[in-house]
Chains A and B, each alone.
Chain A
Amino acid sequence: MSEGKAHITNYSTLAMVLGSLLVLTWATVSITSINLGPWSVTAALLIALLKATLVLLYFMHLKFDSKLLKISFTAVIVVFFLVILLTFFDYLFR
C-alpha cells in the first residue's frame, strides 16, 4: 500500500477524463436514435463500461494503487462478467 504517498493527478488529465465522460454521455444518448436491434443494450453497456473504467482509474485512483487492490477489483469484474454470462445461458437459449 502507498500510505503517505497520495498521488496527485494533474488538472489537464482530470479535465481530459471529464471531457471524455461528457462525450461518452452524449454518445449514450445519441445511440438510442439509431436502431441497432438487440445490440442497442450491448452498445449502451459497452459505453457505460468505458465510463466506469475511466472513473475508477483516474477519479478513484485505481491506476496508482497497489497490486492487491487492482487484483481484487479485477476479480470483482471477472465474477460479475461470469455471473452475467451464466445468467444469459438461460435467457438466450429459452
Chain B
Amino acid sequence: MGPQTYNSFFTVHGIIMIFVIVIPGLPAVFGNFFLPIMIGARDVIFPKLNLLSWYLYVLGILTVLTSLFTFGGAPDTGWTFYAPYSFKTTTNMFPAVLGAFILGFSSILTGLNFITTIHRMRAPGMKFSNMPLFVWSIYGTGWIQLFATPIVGITLMMVIAERFLHIGFFDPALGGDPVLYQHLFWIYSHPAVYIMILPAMGVISEIIPTFARKGIFGYNAIVASTMAIAVVGYFVWAHHMFTSGMSTTAQFTFSLLTFLVAIPSAIKVFNWVATLYKGSIRIEVPLIWALGFMFLFMIGGFTGLFLGSVATDVHVHNTSFVVAHFHYIIFGGMGSAFMAAAHYWLPKMYGRMYNKFWATVGWATFFIGFNVLYFPMFILGYQGMPRRYYDYLGQFHNLNVVSTIGSWILATGLIITIVNLIRGARNGPKAGMNPWEGRTLEWTVPSPPPPENFDVIPDLTSTSTAH
C-alpha cells in the first residue's frame, strides 16, 4: 500500500467510525428505543424532529461517502482535518467536511430531543433522583451534544470559508493561526469522546446491578460523576495539543484539568466493583461483556493519564501509544458496552434469545483478539513508532505482525458475535418479558414492546426506586 492510499485509509476510517458509528451508536440505537420506555413515556417528545435527525444522519453519511468515490480521491488529512494542510490538499476535503457538518446537526437535534423528553415526559413518580442511570447518562450526553457540536460546525464552516473565500482564520500566509484551528477542533472533539463513552457507562450501570441482583452501589455518586464528566470533560481539550507550540501556562492548566476528569471516571469503576461485591452474581453474556468493558476501559483510562501528563505526552505523542489508548477507550470501552447492551436488550427488542454458548465464544475471541491487536501498540509507541506512517522500521516488525494476527482474531470474534445476534433475533427461542429479572420499566412491557410502549402510563409514585 502506497503512502497516499494509507493516508486515505486512516482518514476515512476515522471519519466514518467517529462521526457515523461511535458518536450516534449507543444514543441513536438504544437511546431512541429505551429512553422513552425507561422513563415511562410512549415516545420521545419530538418524533418528527427525531425523523429529521435520522434523515440528516443518512444525508451526512451519503455526503461523506461521496468524498470516497468521486474525482480528487478520498481525503488524506486524518479525521481531524488539521489546518493548514486541510485547505491545501487536492483530495476531496469539501464533501468530507460538509458530511461531518451535517452529521453534527443530526447529533444536536438528537441531544435536544432527549433532554426535552427527559424533562417533560417522565411518568408520574419518576424523579431525577430515581431515574435509571442509562437515562442519566443520555441526559449528560445530550447537554454535551448541545453545547459542543455547534463549535465543530462553525469550525468546519471556517475551513470551507478559508479554502474557498481565502479568509485568513488558520493559514499563516493569510494572517491566520493553525493552532487556533486545533483549539476549535478539540473544543468539540474532546467532549465528543465523552459523547461516545458516557452512554456506554450508563449501559454498564444498568447491567451490573441486574446481574449482581442488588441495587447499584452509590447511585448519587454515579449520577454526580456522570454530570461531572459532562462538565469537566468540556474543559480538557488542549491536552491534545501539548506539542503544538501552546504556552506552558496552558499546558499546565489543561494537564491539571485532565487529571481532574479522571476522578469521576474512577468513581464509576469503584461503584461498579462495589455493586458486584457480595452480590448474588449471575454470570450471563451481558455481564461478561460489561466486565470486559471494565477491564479494557481501565487500561485505556490509566494510559490516558500518561498522555495527560505533559512530560510523558511529549515522549509518546503521535506514536502508536495514542492509537492503543484511544482504541482501548472507544473500541474496548464503547464497543464492548454496545455489545453488552445488544446482548442485554436484544431479548426485549426482538422477543427472542440468542445462543448463549456462541455468544460467550464470540466474546472470548473478541477479548483475546482485542488485546493481541492493541496491547503491542502501547509497546511500539513507547519504543517510538509514529502513528499515521505507511511504513515502519525493521525493529518494529515483530510486534506489528502480532498486532495483525490479533486483528484477525478480533474480526473472527466480531463475526461470531454479530451472526449469533442476528440468528437469535430471527430464530432464537422466545425470551419472555423479563429474562434477566431486571427492575427498570422496560422489563414490565411485553417483548418486543408494543407500539407506543405502554397502554397505560405507569405510576411510580408509590415506588421508592425506579433504578
Task: List residues of A whose CB falls within 8 A of some B CB.
Answer: 68, 76, 79, 82-83, 86-87, 89-94
CA distance A83 to B151 in the complex (A): 11
Instruction: Evaluate contact between B187 and A83: CB separation under 8 angstroms.
Output: yes
With beta carbons under 8 angstroms apart, the residue of A76, A79, A93 that contacts B247 is: A93
Which residues of chain A are within 8 angstroms of B248 by Cβ–Cβ distance? Answer: 93
Sample of 16 more A-B contacts, CB < 8 Å, known A79-B234, A86-B235: A68-B119, A76-B147, A83-B187, A86-B250, A86-B253, A87-B183, A87-B187, A90-B179, A90-B246, A90-B247, A90-B250, A91-B247, A92-B249, A93-B249, A94-B245, A94-B246
B294 in contact (CB, < 8 A): no
Contact A90/B183 with A79-B147, A79-B234 known, Cβ cut-off 8 Å = yes
SS of A interface (majority): helix
Does B359 reach chain A (CB closer than 8 Å)? no
Shortest distance between the CB of A66 and any CB in chain B (Å): 11
Chain B residues whose C-beta falls within 8 Å of the C-beta of A94 in the assembled complex: 245-247
The total of Cβ contacts below 8 Å across the A-B interface reads 36
| Chain B, Cβ-Cβ closest to A80 | B147
| A93 x B187 contact (CB < 8 A) | no
Give the CA-CA distance A91 to B249 in the complex, in Å. Answer: 10
With A68-B119, A79-B234 in contact, is A89–B187 under 8 Å at CB? no
Interface residues on B, range: 10 to 19
CA distance A92 to B234 in the complex (A): 21
> Could you say which of B179, B245, B250 contacts A89, with CB atoms under 8 Å apart?
B250
Give the distance in Å from the alpha carbon of A79 to the alpha carbon of B237 in the complex.
Answer: 13
- List of A residues within 8 angstroms of B246 by Cβ: 90, 94
Given contacts A68-B119, A83-B187, contact A90 B238 (CB under 8 A): yes
A83–B191 alpha-carbon span in the complex (Å): 12
CA distance in complex: A94, B250 (Å)? 9
Across the interface, which residues of B come within 8 angstroms of A87, CB to CB? 183, 187
In the complex, what's the smallest C-beta–C-beta distance from A67 to chain B, in angstroms?
A: 12
Measured CB to CB, the closest approach of chain A to B90, in angstroms, equals 31
Instruction: List 6 tightest A-B contacts by C-beta distance, closest first.
Output: A93-B247, A93-B249, A90-B250, A89-B250, A94-B247, A90-B246
